[in-house]
Amino acid sequence: MNSCVIVFPGSNCDRDVAVALEASSGTRPRMIWHGDSELPACDLIVLPGGFSHGDYLRSGAMAARAPIMRAVVAKAKAGTPVLGLCNGFQILTEAGLLPGALMRNAGLKFICRDVFLRVENNYTLFTRGYGPGQVVRIPISHHDGNYFADSATLNRLEDTGRVAFRYCAADGLINADANPNGSLNNIAGILNETGNVLGMMPHPERLISHELGGSDGRAMFDALTALVQCA
């Protein structure tokens, strides 16, 4: 699989996701500098976690206007899979590839811990490796992960199966106690209309082997790899 990881100034999970992609696919991703304006032909584009531009204006706002983002938007519209993790999700919303916004966590604190997610839609390029309604354990690590969208947008997302992951309890129950950051409808990750762009706050690249304490994140990278090998 030929994947590209975009490196913004302040990205800090770029290496982590590259390691995860290489572990699944056997191929090292290409690291693409934010100041470039062209992307090579590729099967997957990843916007990694971190603090692009320090998150000093608004998380993801400056990165969304980087030269490379015009190429990312064009590829996304042409159907190339795009995965935005954490800060990458924030950038995707700022770039208009995904609706809504990630606001400051309801508790106003940075939160780093494992959470449970329920796979709400496993008929996607990214989630095919999970069972329907499967509960997975994946870490979050963010200050601004409180998903918000207006009610019309929210209804559209819910009605068309575009909520990919929801924060849940260990048994899969969706409730306020299982919501770490105040996200509407416990939303942890969403898809675009055509299903080729996924943004999520949790970090699947952080749990890909037993040494790290779990491997629930690995199925996403395995699924993306398998998809390309089939094609």
Q: Any idea which residues carry the catalytic annotation? A: 86, 203, 205
Q: Are strands 44-47 and 3-7 parallel, antiparallel or unpaired?
A: parallel
> Counting contacts by CB under 8 A, is residue 13 touching other proteins?
yes
DSSP letters, 52-93, are GGGG-SSTTTTGGGSHHHHHHHHHHHTT--EEEETHHHHHHH
Taking the complex as a whole, the smallest distance from the CB of residue 169 to other proteins amounts, in Å, to: 16
Q: Which of 29, 50, 195, 202 binds other proteins (CB under 8 A)?
A: 50
> Counting contacts by CB under 8 A, is residue 54 touching other proteins?
yes
> Counting contacts by CB under 8 A, is residue 176 touching other proteins?
no
Interface with other proteins (CB under 8 A), residue total 29
Site for other proteins in 139-168 (CB under 8 A): 139, 141, 143
Between 51 and 126, whose beta carbon lies closer to other proteins? Answer: 51
What does the CA dihedral 230, 91, 149, 140 come to, rounded to 10 degrees?
80
What DSSP character marks residue 104? P
Between 34 and 75, whose beta carbon lies closer to other proteins? Answer: 34
Token pair of 15, please? 């290496």
Site for other proteins in 91-150 (CB under 8 A): 109-113, 139, 141, 143
Helix, strand, coil share of the chain (percent; to 5): 30, 25, 45
Taking the complex as a whole, the smallest distance from the CB of residue 19 to other proteins amounts, in Å, to: 6
Between 199 and 202, whose beta carbon lies closer to other proteins? Answer: 202
Please state, in angstroms and rounded to a whole number, the distance separating the CA atoms of residues 100 and 147. 7
Q: Which of 26, 211, 230, 231 binds other proteins (CB under 8 A)?
A: 211
Task: Give Cβ neighbours of residue 47 (< 8 Å, ≥ 6 apart).
Answer: 6, 63, 72, 82, 83, 84, 85, 87, 88, 89, 91, 92
> Counting contacts by CB under 8 A, is residue 205 touching other proteins?
yes
Q: Are strands 82-85 and 44-47 parallel, antiparallel or unpaired?
A: parallel
> Counting contacts by CB under 8 A, is residue 27 touching other proteins?
no
The residue ranges that bind other proteins (CB under 8 A) are 9-10, 12-13, 15-16, 19-20, 49-51, 53-56, 109-113, 139, 141, 143, 203, 205-206, 211-213
